[in-house]
Amino acid sequence: MEFSTQTSTDLTQINTEALAVGVFKNQVLSPAAELIDQASQGAIRSVLESEFKGDAKTSLVLRQLNGVAAKRVVLIGLGEQKKYNAKAHATAEATFASYAKAASIKEVVSTLASIDTADSSISDRSRAAAQAIGAANYHYDATLSTKNNPSQIERAAIWSAPTESSAVEVGLLQGKAIANGVNFTRLLADLPPNICTPTYLAQEAKKLGEQFDHLKVEVLERKQIEALKMGSFLSVAKGSDEPPVFIVIKHSPTTPSDEAPLVLVGKGLTFDAGGISLKPAANMDEMKYDMGGAASVFGTMLAVAELNLDREIIGIVASCENLPSGRANKPGDVVTSMAGKTIEILNTDAEGRLVLCDALTYAERFNPAAVINIATLTGACVVALGDVNSGLFSNNDTLAEQIKEASQQTNDGVWQLPISDEYQAKLKSNFADIANIGSPGAGSVTAACFLARFTESYPWAHLDIAGTAWSGGANKGATGRPVPLLVQYLINQTA
Which range is least confidently modeled, 77-91, 94-108, 245-259, 398-412?
A: 245-259
Q: Residue 2's pLDDT is what?
A: 95
> Which contiguous run of DSSP H or E holds residue 197?
none
Sheet with 313-322, strands from edge to edge, namely: 215-220, 245-251, 313-322, 262-272, 370-375, 460-464, 390-394, 414-416
Domain boundaries, given as residue ranges, for the chain: 2-157, 182-494
pLDDT surpassing 90 at residue 9 = no
Which range is least confidently modeled, 4-18, 262-276, 364-378, 446-460?
A: 4-18
Q: Is the pTM of this model over 0.95?
A: yes
Q: Name the pLDDT band for 218 (thresholds 50, 70, 90).
A: very high
How far apart are the C-alpha atoms of 282 and 437, rounded to whole Å? 23
Query: Looking at residues 128-152, what average pLDDT do you find?
Result: 93
Average pLDDT for the chain: 97
Q: Residue 289's pLDDT is what?
A: 98
**Helix and strand totals (H; E) in the chain:** 15, 20
pLDDT surpassing 80 at residue 157 = yes
Q: Residue 395's pLDDT is what?
A: 98
- For residue 188, give the 3-state DSSP assignment: helix
Task: Give the residue among 468, 462, 429, 430 at the shortest CA–CA distance from 447.
Answer: 462
pLDDT surpassing 80 at residue 149 = no
Alpha helix ranges (H) inside 152-195: 165-190
User: What's the sign of the alpha-carbon dihedral 147, 150, 155, 159?
Assistant: negative
Those residues whose C-beta lies under 8 Å from the C-beta of residue 9, and which sit 6 or more positions away, are 162
Q: Give me the CATH topology for the region 2-157.
A: Leucine Aminopeptidase, subunit E; domain 1 (3.40.220)
Q: Superfamily for 182-494?
A: Zn peptidases (3.40.630.10)
Query: Looking at residues 167-186, what average pLDDT do you find?
Result: 98
Q: Residue 258's pLDDT is what?
A: 87
Q: Residue 71's pLDDT is what?
A: 98
Q: Residue 257's pLDDT is what?
A: 82
How far apart are the C-alpha atoms of 208 and 129, rounded to whole Å? 26
Which range is least confidently modeled, 147-151, 201-205, 339-343?
A: 147-151
How far apart are the C-alpha atoms of 256 and 312, rounded to whole Å? 8
pLDDT tens digits for range 370-410? 999 999 999 999 999 999 999 999 999 999 999 999 999 99
Q: Residue 254's pLDDT is what?
A: 86
pLDDT surpassing 90 at residue 255 = no
DSSP codes joined into one string, 308-356:
T-SS-EEEEEEEEEE--STTS--TT-EEE-TTS-EEE-S-TT--HHHHH
Q: Residue 39's pLDDT is what?
A: 96
Q: At how many degrees (to 10) do helices 122-137 and 86-102 cross?
A: 30
pLDDT tens digits for range 470-492? 999 999 999 999 999 999 999 99
Catalytic residue numbers, as ranges: 279, 353
